[in-house]
Amino acid sequence: MHEPAIPSLTGADPEVARLVQAEARRQFEKVRLIASENYVSTAVLEATGSVLTNKYSEGYAGRRYYEGQQVVDPVEELAIGRAKALFGADHANVQPYSGSPANLAVYMAFLDPGDAVMGMALPAGGHLTHGWGVSATGKWFRSVQYGVRKETGVVDLDQVRDLARAERPKVIFCGGTAIPRTIDFPAFAEIANEVGAVLAADIAHIAGLIAGGAHPSPVGHAQVITTTTHKTLRGPRGAMILTDAAHAKAIDKAVFPGLQGGPHNHTTAAIAVALGEALDPSFGLYAHAVVQNARSLAAALLDRGFDLVSGGTDNHLILVDVTGKGVGGKPAAKALDRAGIEANYNTVPFDPRKPFDPSGVRLGTAAITTRGLTPDHMPQIAEWIERAILAAQDEQALDRIAAEVADLMAGYPMPGWA
């Protein structure tokens, strides 16, 4: 059953309650390998569902446009203080609703429409909001896109430098959504400094690894750092922006009143809880275990003949080109889902296929590490992945794998399920 219990919801709206219970059971029974997903603690769930959702709080602590902020202000200040302590940043804004609005605040703060912005191309592993054409960031700004080297699958820093010198962007984004290797923040900072650009590090995927000391930090290299608060950080669905002192005011004005109204106070409280959990020394053990599991799963997949972008991983994320298995990424992901293994189809660098039917599958180990799985389990998961992809049209075979998956996961507790 869902934990915390939901008796009031069950009584008031049994249809919704049934769906909530079904989702909790689904999460409990699956091997969840979507790189952007995790499990939050019961404490984070409780904060997210608290009466703080009732309160409007436009503005910032001590400077609100509504009265009755005697409790909300300390909640937000607590989240800010914990964020600064965890990452060693001068300033933190914990109000952005999600990662995309956090990135939009960077544009609002430092660019005018038509200015040049540089980011990693989406097919190479970047994010929509780093200037990709279908996003507002690619339509309203002059987008300069860099990629990866074909022979290695890692960022081509020579290309980044040459483009920056030629195009003189006002903002350079580093980071992305499908990057399996360590981001060289000092190298990006050197390029940004040379051309007078603001360096924005998007660490949405790796924030928890940075907090736990399992990935180098951009603090001291990037003037602005955006991140979601879920994924590897293991908090609620929200976002933060960290800055140095010189760029704090511009970011705060961009978030409010530039882009949004009142913050979601229940989310702010849950962010504070998650940051408090991340400040505990045990979180560092978790972050390193995530990376260890990812490397072990990557090795097991390589042993089974899978083609991994860049040949492996340095973080939580593995990008698999499944072309060699005779299938596309989309049918592979759908087969895995029916087999009890949750992943997402994804483009790979230089992908000859279309984005909605790409060649790759993206995997991540943050959620299964929260459940307590270890490197010893990774060969079995790799075996299930191969069996499921090769049996994509065999429903009975996929059902057998799903039963095996559920049997394994039944032995590992899940926050949110009792």
> Beta strand pairing status for 341-342 and 31-32?
parallel
Q: What are phi and psi of 265, to 5 degrees?
A: -65, -35
Q: Long-range contacts made by residues 380-384, C-beta under 8 angstroms, separation at least 24?
A: 380/408, 381/31, 381/33, 381/297, 381/300, 381/341, 382/297, 382/300, 382/301, 382/303, 382/304, 382/306, 383/300, 383/304, 384/31, 384/339, 384/340, 384/341
Contact between residue 267 and residue 274 where contact means Cβ atoms under 8 Å apart: no
Alpha carbon of residue 77 to chain centroid: 24
Task: Label the pairing between strands 224-228 and 239-243.
Answer: antiparallel
Q: How far apart are CA 245 and CA 224, in angstroms?
A: 10
Q: Cβ distance 163 to 146 under 8 Å?
A: yes
Could you tell me which of 292, 342, 294 has the C-alpha nearest to residue 317?
Answer: 294
CA distances from residue 51 to 31, 45, 46 in whole angstroms, order as listed: 33, 13, 10
Residues forming the active site: 56, 58, 202, 228, 231, 237
In degrees rounded to 5, what are phi and psi of residue 204? Answer: -50, -40
Whole-angstrom CA distances from 265 to 63, 96, 150, 235 are 15, 11, 45, 14
The owner of tokens 């800055």 is 243
Helix, strand and coil in the chain, % to nearest 5: 50, 15, 35
Nearest to 353 by CA among 125, 123, 122, 127: 123
Write the Ramachandran bin of 131: left for phi over 0, alpha for psi from -120 to 50, otherwise beta: left
